[in-house]
């Protein structure tokens, strides 16, 4: 049975902060941000958007493509680390907002940025097990990345959501039925229950990410060899993969990851590693276009890279295999592969990610700081900014969402 990603929907807040303006305001050389981090803009969520409304908008944009219907969904998973309630899951708000049938299993997943991939893997196994009974899974990864104002991590914020239909006979990405996993308890990035902004041990988090990449790739290779532990002598990993997509908290992290992969593979095989710069320019850098302008979307970050590849170049990749690396602080990571399905361009042509990026309005640093201090308390979006759903208000500790256009 072939299982994988059948459709992608993306939603981004309508506001973006140019990072040269933030660099000037914070007295940081702009080269550190553009070259050192590889970042140019970050998406900013206004007070009427939270993880639920972003997710509902991403799913609504997917259904508006006209090739899937809420009635077909038997599993609804929402992955987020910026949930709106400690008990009530984001997924149940979506269940109502989207009109999903009552005989649908639904819950929220958390493991920092890894949870989106956890959702995709659970959904794929649900289909392979036969429990789906011909139905589809809807997995939505949604987050607002927030760090304290004036902190060095402030430049690596962002916001957005990606929705994925996982089904049998997928039309976009057919998942290979194996992956490599790595988990270890580390305090690299965390957010205690009473805090809105994340805490991070920045440099340590970069090391944890790279160590987890090594571990996940070693496990992938062992799985590919039909063994559970140990190394093998198969060819270096990037060979045979047309593109590599990495969890991208900031674009330079994907560069560091790719360089680490090539070095580790070179050490393992004893061969001279491929030229890192050349390989990065062809296999990785072109797929960071959305991340450069959006920033970190935590659970959605890897899938934003996939959406950008599909949006920009699906026809070029039809019939080719790609590799994907998902990392969630704390930490858990997974390396997996899949094939872009022949005919994928017809489905990918409906994502509209480039148009979404272009339609955004630039904020001043003062407007951004006001949004950041206010948080998601609800409000009324200006007419032209209204999506399918927004957070209207929070009353008696209950969140009230309003639905707008896109579908019924
Ligand atoms: P920092 O202290 O702002 O920056 O922290 P730095 O001093 O490390 O400089 C950054 C880069 O800019 C360096 O390049 C400098 O050399 C360069 P590198 O050595 O790394 O190649 N640089 C310059 N380049 C050109 N011109 C200049 C200049 N000055 C310096 N004038 C850090 C950066 C990423 C640590 C910080 O922003 C941070 O803490 N961010 C948040 C944590 C993070 O994103 N970690 C990534 C791995 S963990 C992860 O991905 C999980 C996560 O998504 C959460 C989850 O799982 O839920 C975060």
What does the pLDDT look like over 197-209, one tens digit per residue?
A: 999 999 999 999 9
Q: Which fold has domain 3-403?
A: Peroxisomal Thiolase; Chain A, domain 1 (3.40.47)
- For residue 385, pLDDT beyond 70: no
For the annotated catalytic residues, the residue numbers are 81, 113, 247
pLDDT of residue 374: 84
CA distances from 338 to 7, 73, 170, 245, 365 (A): 15, 23, 11, 11, 41
Predicted confidence band of residue 129 (pLDDT cuts 50, 70, 90): very high
- For residue 407, pLDDT beyond 50: no
pLDDT of residue 271: 75
Q: Which of 226-235, 343-352, 383-392 has the lowest mean pLDDT?
A: 226-235
Biggest CA-to-CA distance, the chain:
63
How remote is the C-alpha of 64 from its chain's centroid? 20
- For residue 62, pLDDT beyond 90: yes
Predicted confidence band of residue 408 (pLDDT cuts 50, 70, 90): very low
pLDDT of residue 405: 63
pLDDT tens profile 72-86: 999 999 999 999 999
Instruction: Return the SS3 of 406.
Output: coil
| Residue having the nearest C-alpha atom to atom 32 of ligand 1 | 202
- For residue 236, pLDDT beyond 80: no
- For residue 49, pLDDT beyond 50: yes
- Mean pLDDT (whole number) for 115-144: 98
Spans of all domains in the chain = 3-403
The alpha carbon of 202 and the centre of ligand 1 are apart by a number of angstroms equal to 7
25 lines ligand 1 (CB under 6 A): no
108 CB-near residues (< 8 Å, 6+ apart): 77, 78, 79, 80, 83, 89, 90, 91
| Residue having the nearest C-alpha atom to atom 29 of ligand 1 | 32
Predicted confidence band of residue 406 (pLDDT cuts 50, 70, 90): low
Q: Which of 245-254, 258-267, 362-371 has the lowest mean pLDDT?
A: 258-267
207 lines ligand 1 (CB under 6 A): no
Please give the helix or strand (H or E) that residue 16 lies within, else none: strand 15-18
> Which residue reads 């969890």 in tokens?
247
148 lines ligand 1 (CB under 6 A): no
368 lines ligand 1 (CB under 6 A): no
């Amino acid at each position: 049975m072939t299982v994988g990603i059948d459709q992608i929907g993306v939603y981004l807040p309508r506001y973006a902060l140019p990072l040269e303006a933030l660099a000037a305001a914070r007295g940081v050389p702009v080269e550190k941000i553009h070259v050192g981090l590889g970042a140019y803009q970050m998406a900013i969520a206004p007070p009427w958007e939270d993880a639920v409304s972003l997710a509902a908008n991403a799913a609504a944009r997917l259904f508006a493509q006209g090739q899937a219907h809420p009635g077909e969904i038997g599993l609804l998973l929402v992955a987020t680390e910026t949930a709106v309630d400690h008990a009530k899951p984001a997924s149940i708000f979506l269940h109502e907002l989207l009109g999903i049938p009552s005989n649908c299993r639904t819950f929220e997943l958390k493991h920092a940025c890894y949870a989106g991939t956890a959702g995709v893997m659970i959904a794929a196994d649900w289909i392979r097990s036969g429990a789906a009974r011909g139905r589809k899974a809807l997995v939505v990864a949604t987050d607002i990345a927030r760090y304290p104002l004036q902190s060095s991590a402030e430049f690596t914020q962002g916001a957005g959501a990606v929705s994925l239909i996982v089904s049998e006979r997928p039309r976009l990405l057919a998942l290979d039925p194996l992956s490599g996993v790595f988990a270890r308890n580390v305090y690299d990035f965390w957010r205690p229950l009473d805090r809105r902004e994340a805490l991070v041990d920045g440099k340590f988090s970069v090391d944890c990410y790279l160590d987890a990449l090594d571990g996940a790739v070693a496990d992938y290779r062992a799985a590919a060899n039909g063994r559970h532990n140990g190394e093998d002598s198969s060819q270096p990993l990037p060979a045979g993969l047309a593109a590599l997509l990495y969890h991208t908290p900031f674009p330079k992290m994907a560069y560091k990851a790719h360089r680490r992969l090539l070095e580790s593979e070179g050490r393992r095989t004893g061969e001279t590693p491929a030229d890192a710069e050349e390989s990065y320019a062809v296999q990785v850098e072109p797929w960071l276009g959305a991340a450069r302008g959006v920033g970190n979307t935590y659970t959605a970050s890897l899938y934003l890279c996939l959406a950008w590849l599909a949006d920009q170049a699906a026809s070029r990749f039809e019939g080719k295999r790609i590799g994907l690396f998902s990392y969630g602080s704390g930490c858990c990571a997974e390396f997996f592969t899949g094939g872009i399905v022949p005919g994928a361009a017809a489905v990918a042509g409906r994502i509209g990610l480039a148009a979404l990026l272009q339609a955004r309005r630039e904020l001043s640093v003062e407007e951004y700081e006001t949004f950041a201090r206010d948080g998601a308390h609800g409000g009324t979006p200006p007419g032209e900014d209204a999506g399918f759903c927004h957070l209207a208000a929070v009353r008696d500790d209950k969140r009230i969402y309003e639905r707008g256009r896109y579908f019924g």
